[in-house]
Structure 1
Amino acid sequence: MLDFLRGQKESVRRLCSGLELDLELYHKAPLEIDIGCFGLDAAGRLSDERYFVFYNQKNSPKNEIVLRDGVASGAVRFHLCLDQLPSHIAKLSFTAAIDGTRTMQELEKGHVCLFRGQEEVGRYSYTGGQFSAERAIVICKLYRRGDDWRFNAVGRGFNGGLKALVEHFGGTVAGSVPSTPPMINRPSSPSPPQQPNPSPRNPAGPSLVQNIVASLPNHVCSRMDNLARQCRGDTEYLTSLYKNMFASFARHPDVADLPVQVVTCMDASGSMFDLYRNGRMQRVIDKFFAFATTLSDIASMDLWAFGAKSRQFGAVTMDNVRDYTFAEAGGFERWMSMLNYQYNNEPEAMRDIMMIYGALRKPVMVLFITDGRLSSDWEIEEILIKTSRFPIYWQFVGLHGEEYGVLERLQEIDGRRSENAAFLKLDDIDDLSDSALYESLLSNLEGWLKEIQYKHILE
């Protein structure tokens, strides 16, 4: 049996010898916990309520997902036939939520188990000590990968309970969330495909826009409006990224108190060649650019790349973002040649960034991409300890790699004045929906901003 760590991913077909399996979720707590399964589309949204399976709707339309009582007392079990799900269901997200004012911190223990027939083949365990004020958590998810599905242990919380979960996955809840299931605004029954509507449509909905405006300072809303207006022609594709970023930003209004400069630093060693060539690193640029320009009035994002050497390239702007990795300074192949692509030297890039941004005395968030096999754990630790005195936050993103060393043990680094680093491990940048990615980045940033203000690191 495989014991999963938070963030770990594995092939369902390999674990379960196929795509039919059971998922059993168990919680021990002095409170009532509601379990649900959200069937999501490729954008991570609840576009078809029939695939929201919970205690008041225990079957999907063709029993591809069936909710039953679990074997253990207090457990529930989902029987899944993943190969029978329609193509528009790309992800299944399994959640736990509580009503009222109590929190997941009261959870004594919980786990999700994968079963191949009667045999338990995998387990992800967690406790209330991993949470604080959260009233809902995403426990795990399953998502398509070619002709396979992958299991991902998530373990991430939301402060708003079931309502926050529904809204996070693109549903809207009518009124406050009662003890009975929410009514998600949608047609009362499935309708045939609609003809294209020539008039503009706002997927976020007016209530979401109103919530954003009410949550954030006027100057931040003006900044957002200006960015949205620039998404025309070649940059129109950024519109959906900004909509997701704006919605996530509204859930973290404290981040808006201080402008944050975002710097992206990208691994350009030879092992990353295919990710650049197939456009996946350009996709990273697109997502991070929307994130960066929302957090500051600077409508650009500084970008560094590294192999054995490190170098700053031209800033990413609305004028060059669309094909940045293919055109800037001759494109990524030229970058790799200039930087000596034979190995990745993370400390070299970190030291350069520290020298440039450490003296600014304003919050800087570094989105640092690497595919692992780090050149020196101890040098990275040393730099993190040194920069913990500066307002620099290191958000490491492991992409399509392995052997991340110290990045998976950041909490064990002693001697830091602030908790100035976090690690997010992904196989692909689209493993998380845009809204989930931004939610994760903003949650980490928000906690750090509060810490450095409390500890007067900005002064």
Structure 2
Amino acid sequence: MAISLSKGQKVDLTKGNPGLTKVIVGLGWDVNKYDGGQDFDLDSSIFLLGDNGKVASDGDFVFYNNPTGGNGSVVHSGDNRTGAGEGDDEQVVIDLQAVPATTQRITFTITIHDGEARNQNFGQVSNSYVRILNEQNNEELIRYDLGEDFSIETALVVGELYRHNNEWKFSAIGSGYQGGLAALATDFGLQVG
């Protein structure tokens, strides 16, 4: 049975699931009805961070145009441009044992493509969640529903996997940002522009 988290909670992933080596991280969302005339395109991105909370290189930024990172240990399933339908909108497969030792945290984000230009924000998005599945049997282990407490933000840090005493844990973050993906990328040490 999946552990359901609230914002700010942390939970052991590998300690409570002995033998777990590969996980699927599923991210999902729905767009509320609005009359802006533009389609929403939400994107998940992953930042592989060192001790300093920054990426070591552009290769540590995993998204639809760079779907593999961490020496192949993190693989993005690709861009879902509509968010239509049930279930996960985008997925990331992670081989926990193969993540480079220099990566201490794997941070998951959702951003609205061209959100500022299209006057779109997370106040118009609902049912956002992140969940972690055992890759071997698709069993849902952890789920974090973000709730509806966003308004003008165009980027969200939903959560992160992090190392602690040679185990992996998950932290439910749920922090919103303005400035979209560029603001997040800059915060995590990428040169944008």
Q: Structure 2-normalised TM-score?
A: 0.83
Between the two structures, name the one with larger relative contact order (CA 8 Å, sep ≥ 6).
2
Per-residue deviation, 1:48:
2.1
Amino acid at match of 1:2: I
SS of the residue 1:55 aligns to = coil
**Residue identity opposite 1:23 in structure 2:** V
Counterparts of 1:77 and 1:100 in 2: how far apart (Å)? Answer: 21
Counterpart of 1:27 (choices 26, 29, 35) is 29
Inter-CA distance 156–119: structure 2 relative to 1 (3 Å threshold): same
Matching of residue 103 in structure 1 with residue 121 in structure 2? yes
How far has the Cα of 1:72 moved from its partner? 4.5
Inter-CA distance 111–90: structure 2 relative to 1 (3 Å threshold): same
- Percent identity, aligned pairs only, is 27
Supply the RMSD in Å over aligned alpha carbons.
1.9
Between Structure 1 and Structure 2, the one with more strand by share is 2
Check the 8 A contact 2:77/2:91 in 1, yes or no: yes
Q: Note if contact 2:26-2:88 (Cα within 8 Å) is conserved in structure 1.
A: no
- Find out whether 1:144 has 2:144 as its counterpart: no
Aligned to 1:133: 152
What displacement does 1:61 show?
A: 5.2
Could you tell me whether the CA contact under 8 Å between 1:39 and 1:52 is conserved in 2?
yes
Asked whether the 8 Å contact 1:28–1:74 carries over to 2, the reply is no
Counterpart residue identity of residue 75, structure 1: D
Q: Distance in 2 between matches of 1:147 and 1:20?
A: 16
Gaps of 5+ in 2: 33-39
Partner of 1:79: 93
Contact 2:133/2:141 (<8 A) preserved:
yes
**TM-score normalised to the size of structure 1?**
0.36
Correspondence 1:42-441 to 2 at 5 A: 42-60=51-69, 62-68=71-77, 72=86, 75-98=89-112, 99-101=114-116, 102-116=120-134, 117=136, 118-127=138-147, 129-174=148-193
Helix, strand or coil: the match of 1:66?
strand
Post-superposition Cα deviations, 1:173-192, rounded to whole Å, max 9, x if no partner, equal 11xxxxxxxxxxxxxxxxxx
Quote the Cα distance in structure 1 between the aligned partners of 2:89 and 2:104: 26
Query: 2: distance between equivalents of 1:44 and 1:92?
Result: 10
Q: Is the 8 A contact 1:19 1:149 kept in 2?
A: no
Residue segments in structure 1 that go unaligned for 5+ positions in a row = 175-459
Provide the secondary structure at the position in 1 that maps to 2:68: coil
Q: Deviations over 1:79-124 (max 9, x none)?
A: 1112211111111100011123211111121111111131111110
CA contact (8 A) 2:45 2:108 kept: yes
Q: Distance in 2 between matches of 1:121 and 1:86?
A: 23
Cα deviation code 1:372-421 (max 9, x no counterpart): xxxxxxxxxxxxxxxxxxxxxxxxxxxxxxxxxxxxxxxxxxxxxxxxxx
Per the TM alignment, residue 75 of structure 1 is displaced from its structure 2 partner at its CA by 1.1
1:62 Cα deviation after fit: 3.0
Q: Is the 8 A contact 2:154 2:177 kept in 1?
A: yes
Residue 162 of structure 2 contacts residue 168 of structure 2 at CA under 8 Å; is this kept in 1? yes
Cα 1:19–1:163 shift into 2, 3 Å: same
Alpha-carbon separation, structure 2, partners of 1:7 and 1:100: 26
- Is the CA contact 2:75–2:94 (under 8 Å) kept in the aligned structure 1? yes
Does the CA contact (< 8 Å) of 2:29 and 2:127 recur in 1? yes
**Which amino acid is 2:182 matched to?**
K
Judge conservation of contact 1:54–1:67 (CA < 8 Å) in 2.
Answer: yes
CA displacement at 1:7 relative to structure 2: 0.7
State the AA in 2 paired with 1:11: D
What do the CA deviations read for 1:302-321 (whole angstroms, capped 9, x no partner)? xxxxxxxxxxxxxxxxxxxx
- Distance across 1 between alignment mates of 2:48 and 2:121: 25
Distance in 1 between the 2:75 and 2:182 partners?
23
SS in 2 for 1:167: helix
Q: Specify whether residues 21 and 27 from structure 1 end up closer, same or farther in structure 2 by C-alpha distance, changes over 3 A only.
A: same
For 1:51 and 1:126, locate their aligned partners in 2 and report how far apart those are by CA, in whole Å: 25
AA aligned opposite 1:107: V
Partner of residue 12, structure 2: 11
Q: 1:7 to 1:19 in 2, by over 3 A?
A: farther
